[in-house]
Each structure stands twice: as C-alpha cells, then as structure tokens.
Amino acid sequence: MATLANIAFAQAQNDSQTGYNFLRLPVSAHAAALGGDNISVIDDDEALIFSNPALLSSVTDKSLNLNYMSYMQGSKAASAAFNKTFGERASAAISGSFVDYGKMKETDENNIQTGEFSAKDISIAGYFSYLLTDRLSGGVSAKFITSYIADYNSIAVGVDLGLNYYDPDREWSLSLALKNLGGELKAYNEDYNRLPFDMQIGASKRFTNMPLRLHATLVDLNHPHYKAINHLVVGADALLSDNFWIGMGYNFRRANEMKLTSADGKSSSHGAGLSFGAGLSLSRFKAAASWSKYHVSSSSLIMSIAYSL
C-alpha cells in the first residue's frame, strides 16, 4: 500500500499536462449506471476490469465481453475483452478499445474549408489479477495507446494498479485503484503529455436481507486542491433477483462542471451527473445498458453484452 501511495504522489507532482482523456470514460454499463466511476462493485462483469484490474478475479473463465458507447457530439466508442483463469487464483485478460470522434472540417488560414479529417483514439491492454488471500485480490494492466488526428499520430504507454478486498459474509467490498500511470513515447509536437492519472478509493455494501447495495467512490485524490464534493461519486443498485438489477448514480464533479448560469444569475446542472441502468444475467449470457447525462444538450448510452464460452 505504501508503494502505491508513493507512486501516486510522484505522478501527482507532474500532472500539469495530460492527454488521452478518453481513458477516463466509463466502459461497463454497470459502472456507468452507478455514476461513471466505480471500482468496488462485485459482479461477473468483465467490463469492470477497465475500472479496476483487481476485479478480474470475479469474472467467469473464458468470458467474451463487448461494449458500445454513444458519446457527445456524435462520437462513439467500442471495446472488447476476453479472459482466462489459471488455477484457482490467477486470471489474465486482453482488451481493445477505440473512440471515433467522426469527421471534422479542415480549413486554411482564411477559414475556407479545404476538406475533412477524422480523429480517433485506440488502446490495447493486457491484464493480470491474483487472489492474494481468500478475500484480497490484486491486479495490474498494461496499456498501449495511440491517437490519430488527420495524418498525425501519437503513442503512449501506461499501467493501472488495483486492489480489492471483498468480505462475502458481510457483503463489504473495498478497493483502491491507481489508474493511467504513464505518458507519451511519441508526441504530436515537442510537448509530451502524461496520461490522466487518477487515484481512486471505493466501497460497496449490500444490506443484510435486502436487495439494496450502496456504492461510494472518491476520485481524483491526487488533486487535493479540487473542491471536496467534486471527488465524490455515489450510486445504488437493487438486485431484484439473481438475474436482474437496476441502478442509478450521481457524479458530483460532472454536475458541477456542467452547470449553466441563466440571465438572472441562477445556475442549474439540468440533470448533468445523473445516470441510470439495468442488467440481465442468464446462464451464460449477460446484457446491460445505462444512460448518463453529461450536459444540458448531451447524454451518453452504453450497452454491454457478455458470453461465457
């Protein structure tokens, strides 16, 4: 734990210039429904490894996961992951993801359109998790990232580190994640960016004899100067049966940053920060969907499906 804290402190001291912020987008529909940042929910959901690699230990062997996200301004994202267990304690996985920002106008110095260009981000990652004890799991992921804008290209590498403690008797889950440690190998220009490092702590608790489970995640802890409430993401899901859940969440930072002020001086987030979702689990097949409000004029839809081979 002390080593992880030292790594986080060193990264935070050099976090003034970051890029590749697509790495902060939620991938799992379940995590998105709970506010967009959740590193502690225990579920047989391979997409959760994008949030915390330690959660790979909870995923069924040989699961294939596919995710799709519609994002702001017509952007779209997709990802896929596949895992394999080794013995009773070790698991490994691979994933690929991309964000396509669509076509944009290309203009000259006189603002005359001369054509169009596209932009996209791509990430390929490998994961490994291990059950350190019957209740404590650790995980790591290594990522190769590349970004394209027209004919220009940049390359970066990074790692995620995670821990999860799960007490099945009391239905407590506690997690720590250090996400996006790394930086560019090849930049668009002479200014090399770091990845958007994020230190997170999360907890999930299911109440005895009740279907309700509550979640809280503290994000951006490497930025202590942020407004305190902007570190908090909360969520709740109801496990209505062994096969079906519904959930909702609230992201305070998203809500506060997307507030609009009217002519009379009143400000409103217009629902930004809210999210909802539901999921269905059958014997081998799983599906989930979530909706999140990002801005008064923008929302996001995520769909996740998985099949155990």
Q: How is the chain split into domains, by residue range?
A: 2-104+114-308
Q: What are the Cα distances from residue 293, in Å, to 70, 240, 260?
A: 12, 25, 14
* Residue 283: predicted pLDDT: 87
Percent of the chain beyond pLDDT 90?
A: 76
What is the residue-wise DSSP string for 208-222? TTSSEEEEEEE--TT
pLDDT of the residue at 266? 63
pLDDT exceeds 80 at position 102: yes
Helix or strand holding residue 13 (H, E):
none
Q: Render pLDDT for 125-136 as a digit per residue (tens, 0 to 9).
A: 999 999 999 999
Q: Is the pLDDT of residue 15 over 50?
A: no
Are 87 and 73 in contact by the 8 Å Cβ rule? The answer is no
pLDDT digits (tens, 9 = 90+) for 246-287: 999 999 999 988 776 655 666 666 788 999 999 999 989 999
10: which DSSP letter?
H
Residue 189's contacts (CB-CB under 8 Å, 6 or more residues apart) are none
- As a whole number, mean pLDDT of residues 162-180 equals 98
**Contact indicator for 59, 82 with CB cutoff of 8 Å:** no
pLDDT at position 304, please? 98
pLDDT tens-place string over residues 21-49 = 999 999 999 999 999 999 999 999 999 99
Rounded Cα distance, 79 and 53, in Å: 16
What is the pLDDT, as a whole number, of residue 10? Answer: 41
**Least confident among 110-114, 175-179, 201-205:** 110-114
* 269-274 LR contacts (CB < 8 Å, sep 24+): 270/295, 270/296, 271/296, 272/296, 273/35, 274/248, 274/249, 274/250
- Residue 1 has a pLDDT of 44
Higher pLDDT, 221 or 11: 221
CA distance 20 to 86: 32
| Continuous H helices in 125-263 | 252-257
Average pLDDT taken over every residue of the chain: 91
In this prediction, residue 17 has a pLDDT band, given cuts at 50, 70 and 90, of low
119 pLDDT band, cuts 50/70/90, is very high
Q: How far apart are CA 274 and CA 187, in angstroms?
A: 35
* Structure confidence at residue 263 (pLDDT): 57
DSSP E strands, 168-297: 172-186, 198-206, 212-218, 232-239, 244-251, 260-261, 267-268, 274-281, 285-295
Residue 182 CB partners (closer than 8 Å, separation 6+): 143, 156, 157, 158, 159, 194, 195
- Rounded distance between C-alpha atoms, residue 140 and residue 52, angstroms: 8
> Looking at per-residue confidence, does 12 or 105 come out higher?
105
User: How far is the C-alpha of 177 from the C-alpha of 19, rounded, in Å?
Assistant: 19
Report the pLDDT value the prediction gives residue 262, as an integer from 0 to 100. Answer: 59
**What percentage of the chain carries pLDDT values higher than 70?**
91
DSSP calls for 233-249: EEEEEEE-SSSEEEEEE
Q: pTM of the full predicted structure?
A: 0.90
Does the pLDDT at position 69 exceed 70?
yes
The whole-number average pLDDT for the span 212-234 is: 97
Quote the CA–CA distance of 51 and 45 in Å, as a whole number.
11
Q: Tell me the CATH architecture of domain 2-104+114-308.
A: Beta Barrel (2.40)
Per 3-state DSSP, the chain is made up of helix, strand and coil in percentages (nearest 5) of 15, 55, 30
Residue 115: count of CB within 10 angstroms of its CB: 10
